[in-house]
């Protein structure tokens, strides 16, 4: 038995070994394949799936679409605080309509009340000093210049009073 090699030549020495090697591999493969097939039991049938059946009916279905986007109002207002302080309440809902003069935020009134009380106390102190230096006479022409408050005292009192 002569077999041709890859280059077309006949080599009688390698042919029987090659054929024997191929036959041996096929026999081992068939033997192993047959053993593994013989160990399998009867094929287990898969359970049938549950199927729901519904009756078809004709009706209107709403058509809608979903898109991603950003909306911006017709008029956008920038809100800037006129005073500093801690916000304690927001009196509007984001995106709602507001009118001019409407209360939008409430700021903690305690620091403002403290400065107002301090200014009022300074005013009372200056008024008391002024009344002590004033002569007992009720005639304004008889009052001395020292009884009147100085310009510096009046300007410090005036600047201490908070304005709204």
On the question of pLDDT at 34 being above 70, the answer is no
Answer yes or no: is 151 within a domain: yes
Answer yes or no: is 27 within a domain: no
The tally of domains found in the chain comes to 1
Range of the domain at 123: 111-160
Residue 108's pLDDT band (cuts 50, 70, 90): very high
The gap from C-alpha 119 to its chain's centroid, in whole angstroms, comes to: 44
Looking at residues 90-116, what average pLDDT do you find? 90
Answer yes or no: is 32 within a domain: no
Looking at residues 126-153, what average pLDDT do you find? 67
- In sequence order, what DSSP letters do the residues of 76-116 get, joined into one string? ------SS---EEEE-S-TT----TT---EEE--HHHHHHH
Percent of the chain clearing pLDDT 70 (strictly above): 73
Answer yes or no: is 120 within a domain: yes
Answer yes or no: is 47 within a domain: no
Q: 62-102, pLDDT tens digit by residue?
A: 888 888 988 777 777 787 888 888 999 999 888 788 888 89
Answer yes or no: is 127 within a domain: yes
The answer to whether the predicted template modeling score (pTM) of the entire model surpasses 0.75 is no
More confident residue, 91 or 6: 91
Answer yes or no: is 122 within a domain: yes
Interior angle at CA 118, CA 146 and CA 144, nearest 5: 10
Answer yes or no: is 97 within a domain: no
């Amino acid at each position: 038995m002569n077999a041709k090699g890859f280059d077309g030549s006949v080599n009688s020495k390698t042919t029987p070994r090659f054929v024997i090697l191929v036959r041996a591999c096929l026999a081992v493969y068939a033997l192993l394949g047959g053993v593994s097939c013989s160990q399998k039991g009867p094929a287990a049938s898969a359970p049938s799936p549950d199927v729901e059946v519904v009756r078809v009916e004709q009706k209107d279905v709403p058509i809608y679409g979903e898109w991603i986007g950003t909306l911006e109002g017709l008029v956008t207002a920038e809100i800037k605080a006129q005073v500093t302080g801690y916000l304690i309440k927001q009196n509007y809902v984001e995106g709602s309509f507001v009118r001019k003069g409407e209360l939008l935020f409430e700021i903690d009134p305690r620091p403002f009340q403290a400065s107002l009380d301090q200014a009022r106390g300074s005013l009372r102190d200056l008024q008391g000093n002024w009344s002590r230096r004033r002569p007992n006479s009720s005639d304004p022409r008889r009052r001395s210049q020292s009884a009147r408050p100085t310009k510096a005292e009046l300007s410090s009192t005036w600047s201490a009073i908070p304005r709204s």
